[in-house]
């Protein structure tokens, strides 16, 4: 049976892990980086210990795009998880075996936060490249009233092929 102290400890560990990762990523002295790396490893070990005390569940994540899938796989590997796909599953599917508590309290909230930032960055880079290399107007296509009754049809000479 898990007591309330263990439940709050998992959340505290997740928060400490985020702070240590930020410290580790920030430039500093070699000693600071080594201390942060050591503390990070101790926290990961403790998170895995908490995870082992709970039953493992199989999770199936369906990612909408390549970038999200790659981010999810990298995040899983950072925590020592082994992402996989079963034979016949789509490439956009990522499977993980881990505890529900870890997914709910640490993994999924962190993924959503990172995915939001990644999407912002990719959008900015995409717009800048299109603006500089293709055309300065990067606004969406204008919407117009459908007056000729051919909505959804390809018109002669339009589209690929």
Tens-digit pLDDT profile for residues 5-56: 333 434 555 565 566 566 555 656 788 777 777 777 776 776 677 667 888 8
Alpha-carbon gap, residue 49 to 130, rounded angstroms: 48
> Does the pLDDT of residue 59 top 90, yes or no?
yes
> Does the pLDDT of residue 78 top 60, yes or no?
yes
Say if CB 85 and CB 95 are below 8 A apart.
yes
Tens-digit pLDDT profile for residues 85-138: 989 889 889 999 988 888 888 889 989 988 888 888 888 888 888 888 888 887
Alpha-carbon gap, residue 67 to 137, rounded angstroms: 25
Identify which has the larger pLDDT, 149 or 142.
142
What does pTM read for this prediction? 0.61
pLDDT of residue 68: 93
Alpha-carbon gap, residue 97 to 83, rounded angstroms: 8
pLDDT of residue 23: 54
pLDDT of residue 95: 95
Alpha-carbon gap, residue 139 to 26, rounded angstroms: 36
> Does the pLDDT of residue 153 top 90, yes or no?
no
Alpha-carbon gap, residue 67 to 70, rounded angstroms: 5
pLDDT of residue 136: 85
Alpha-carbon gap, residue 15 to 68, rounded angstroms: 23
| Nearest in space to 102 (alpha carbons), one of 143, 132, 59 | 59
């Amino acid at each position: 049976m898990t007591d309330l102290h263990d439940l709050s400890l998992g959340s505290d560990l997740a928060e400490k892990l985020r702070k240590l990762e930020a410290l580790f990523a920030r430039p500093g002295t070699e000693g600071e980086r080594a201390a942060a790396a050591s503390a990070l490893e101790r926290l990961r070990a403790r998170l895995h210990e908490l995870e082992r005390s709970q039953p493992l569940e199989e999770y199936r994540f369906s990612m909408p795009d390549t970038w999200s899938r790659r981010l999810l796989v990298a995040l899983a590997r950072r925590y020592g998880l082994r992402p996989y796909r079963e034979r016949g599953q789509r490439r956009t599917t990522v499977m993980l075996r881990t505890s529900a508590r870890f997914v709910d309290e640490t993994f999924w909230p962190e993924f959503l936060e990172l995915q939001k930032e990644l999407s912002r960055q990719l959008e900015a880079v995409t717009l800048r490249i299109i603006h500089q290399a293709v055309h300065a107007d990067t606004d969406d296509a204008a919407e117009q009233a459908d007056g000729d009754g051919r909505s959804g049809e390809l018109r002669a000479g339009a589209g690929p092929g």
